[in-house]
Structure 1
Amino acid sequence: MQRIYHSLLFIVVATSLTGCFFFQKREVARWEIAPQGSTSFALSRDGRFGLLYATPQALLLWDLVANQPLAKLGPQDSQHSVVSHIQFSDNGRYAVTASQNNFAVWDLAFTQAKGLWSIADGVIRDIDIASDGQQILLGLSNGKAIFVNLVTGVRMEFLAHAEKVNSVALSANGRYALTGGNDHFAYLWDTKTGQILKRFEHNQRVVRVALQRDGTMAFTADGGNTATLWPLEASQETQELKSWSRQLIFSSARFSDDGSLLVTGSPSGEVVVWQTASGEQMERFSVEPLKDARPARAVVYDAAFDSQHRVISASSAGIAQAWPLEKDYD
């Protein structure tokens, strides 16, 4: 009887503890595009297209719905520079790719580059592109955030940051920029005037920022355990992401179209879906690690919500994976 009692007690305790954690969910689809791994991998906003850089393929555009390559774009430049940053425009028509010191803009409808530009006064740490494919935002190692209109030639240097700019986000129309840096600050600013509209302060360096596509919310995260959802409209409340982790380090962040959810990726291969109204964690997935890597893990470069109620992840393993969202979150 004592053994039976202890066994039942163990089952009850184990069941209770299990309820406190998220079950590891299985993927529902996988695309092994570059088995040797990739140095950068971005997804279109709807999760349909992926653009990655890997050797020896260089830049490769992939249709995840049709599960086939659309185009081999080749190297970014004649020096075959390693591409470390890729970003789709909000409408999916254009993409920008960047190495440490130059960047290229691609018209994906015609699968060709519109031009190559160099940066001489700093290392490119992050980049974004507007929906028209003409406006670019860069974060540099020298503390500058640079906004460029490639057609008019207008160039604005935002100099509010005192140290490296680690992460940038540009609104779809190119009018607003969000930048975060080593100086513990993130700034929302107007790209026409350079005026600071909002200032978000952290206790540590800001490593990740994101903008909701309709301009209702901003996200900033530092190198410690503070990740904040900031309302850009008066009716909303500021929310902190709630997690038991000692440290919240994000390699990617993206809002759902309606702003109700945020999906983040980490350098340790975790993909997490958060409810923006509460900051609560809703879903958690672990991506496939890079083959033969030690430790066995992959960096999540990007994640997006698709039309099939799934999260699509893209990682340094050169693999895209689809994960089910089992509930409708209000």
Structure 2
Amino acid sequence: MSRFVTLFLLSFLLVACSADEKPLAIWQHSANGSSAAALSYDGNFALVSGYNEPTGWWDLNKNARLFNWRMSPNSKNDTDTVQVVTMDYNAQRAVTASLTNFAVWDTLSGKNLGFYKAPSPIRSIAVSRKARYVLLGVAEGKVIFMSLKTGRRLEFLGHILNARKRIQDPTLSPSWVGINSVDLSANGKYAISGGDDHAAILWDTQSGQQIYLWPHNNRVHYVKFSRDGKLAFTASRQAEAYIWDLTNGKMVSKLKLKSREWIISSARFSADNKQLLTGSPGRDLKLWQVKTGTLKKAFKVKKRFSTKASGAVVLDVAFTKDGNAISEASSGYGEKWSLTP
């Protein structure tokens, strides 16, 4: 057996074995499973929306539920199900969103800072620092950029225009081009969006001008900025996942996914941009090398039930300052993982 083959098999076994590793900690954040979750960049806080219960703001260091938030003001019986949650880069503001409304919360006091009506059904949401700006990805092919202070609103139509150009149909209805994922830079100046037009687009929120358009072979369902805004991650529904250099628009690497790994549900860059965490619907939490797109470690998050048919979607992932990883899953469990080789 050649030295190359020996090293390849050893590497494969090391990665495969890591999927059996046990978490350092397990926390139950929802008894009925979670519909949406978001983690702070330092891995200290979690925003978790459980089924038939209010959205909780959690201190993970103490595993303490600090606040309970509902979508309807002064209501103890919510009928407005939370579909999407997010928080700003410093975890000072949290956002909960149903299909038609969104609310902004102060994470220090727990107070509500406003309830807002969305102009179209919400599919994805992101906010700038202190939620000064909000970015909505909606069903009708538009990305809506809003200033909550001034009320300024900009509608980005790049995905509709790209879809019409791609299939050579200038009359294509916007309802055919849903926006699946959006992210916003910390200062609110730049946005990235992915849609059913098989493209991820980086654009300027002040002018609405497209900066880069990255074509994919299928619908783009997930996009994410690095915290410093130097890199972006995009993924489509056909085992396609890329890392991009935003200084020149060029590809840094393509993740070496298996053919059956169709969907990535969450992603997060490390603080130094050298590593990437991803989560997927198959209970998979994975650590990647950014420069090469190679897999370093793999884990399986906890299921809600012990039956073989039971599964879990990894809703969000984060790195901690001490070199560990945090996952939050649809099973209602948050977990901490060691990334030490």
Could you state the TM-score of these two structures normalised by the residue count of structure 1? Answer: 0.90
Determine the structure 2 residue equivalent to 1:151: 149
**1:181-206: CA deviation from partner (whole Å, max 9, x where unpaired):** 00001110011110111111101110
Asked whether the equivalents of residues 271 and 284 of structure 1 are also in contact (C-alpha less than 8 Å), the reply is: yes
Q: Distance in 2 between matches of 1:142 and 1:285?
A: 36
State yes or no: 1:140 paired with 2:141: no
Q: Distance in 1 between matches of 2:202 and 2:292?
A: 23
Q: 2:219 is matched by which residue type in structure 1?
A: R
> Secondary structure of the equivalent of 1:87?
strand
Asked whether the equivalents of residues 132 and 149 of structure 2 are also in contact (C-alpha less than 8 Å), the reply is: yes
Determine the structure 2 residue equivalent to 1:171: 185
Determine the structure 1 residue equivalent to 2:166: none
Q: Which runs of 5 or more structure 2 residues have no equivalent in the other structure?
A: 1-8, 161-176
Asked whether the equivalents of residues 15 and 295 of structure 2 are also in contact (C-alpha less than 8 Å), the reply is: no
> Secondary structure of the equivalent of 1:65?
coil
Change (3 A) 1:235 1:161: closer
- Percent sequence identity over aligned pairs: 38
Determine the structure 1 residue equivalent to 2:6: none
Q: 1:137 is matched by which residue type in structure 2?
A: L
State yes or no: 1:267 paired with 2:281: yes
State yes or no: 1:325 paired with 2:334: no
1:28-177 to 2 correspondence within 5 Å?
28-77=24-73, 78=75, 79-120=78-119, 122-162=120-160, 163-177=177-191
Q: Distance in 2 between matches of 1:92 and 1:146?
A: 22
Asked whether the equivalents of residues 176 and 190 of structure 1 are also in contact (C-alpha less than 8 Å), the reply is: yes
Asked whether the equivalents of residues 102 and 119 of structure 1 are also in contact (C-alpha less than 8 Å), the reply is: yes
State yes or no: 1:21 paired with 2:9: no
Q: 1:196 is matched by which residue type in structure 2?
A: Q
State yes or no: 1:309 paired with 2:338: no
Change (3 A) 1:274 1:104: same
Once the 2 structures are TM-superposed, how far is the Cα of residue 247 of structure 1 from its aligned partner? Answer: 2.9
Q: Distance in 1 between matches of 2:307 and 2:98?
A: 24
Q: Distance in 1 between matches of 2:57 and 2:221?
A: 27
**1:162-219: CA deviation from partner (whole Å, max 9, x where unpaired):** 2110000100111100000000011100111101111111011101101111121111
**How many pairs are equivalent?**
313
Determine the structure 2 residue equivalent to 1:7: none
Asked whether the equivalents of residues 45 and 88 of structure 1 are also in contact (C-alpha less than 8 Å), the reply is: no
Once the 2 structures are TM-superposed, how far is the Cα of residue 60 of structure 1 from its aligned partner? Answer: 1.0
Change (3 A) 1:16 1:132: closer
Asked whether the equivalents of residues 71 and 96 of structure 2 are also in contact (C-alpha less than 8 Å), the reply is: no
Determine the structure 2 residue equivalent to 1:256: 270
Q: 1:130 is matched by which residue type in structure 2?
A: S
Asked whether the equivalents of residues 274 and 280 of structure 1 are also in contact (C-alpha less than 8 Å), the reply is: yes
Asked whether the equivalents of residues 220 and 236 of structure 2 are also in contact (C-alpha less than 8 Å), the reply is: yes
Once the 2 structures are TM-superposed, how far is the Cα of residue 57 of structure 1 from its aligned partner? Answer: 3.2
Once the 2 structures are TM-superposed, how far is the Cα of residue 292 of structure 1 from its aligned partner? Answer: 6.2
Q: Distance in 2 between matches of 1:160 and 1:235?
A: 17
Q: Distance in 2 between matches of 1:136 and 1:85?
A: 13
Once the 2 structures are TM-superposed, how far is the Cα of residue 161 of structure 1 from its aligned partner? Answer: 1.0
Asked whether the equivalents of residues 43 and 51 of structure 1 are also in contact (C-alpha less than 8 Å), the reply is: yes
Once the 2 structures are TM-superposed, how far is the Cα of residue 234 of structure 1 from its aligned partner? Answer: 4.3
> Secondary structure of the equivalent of 2:16?
coil
Change (3 A) 1:169 1:235: closer
> Secondary structure of the equivalent of 1:301?
strand
Change (3 A) 1:324 1:158: same
Q: Distance in 2 between matches of 1:20 and 1:30?
A: 22
> Secondary structure of the equivalent of 1:317?
coil
> Secondary structure of the equivalent of 2:159?
coil
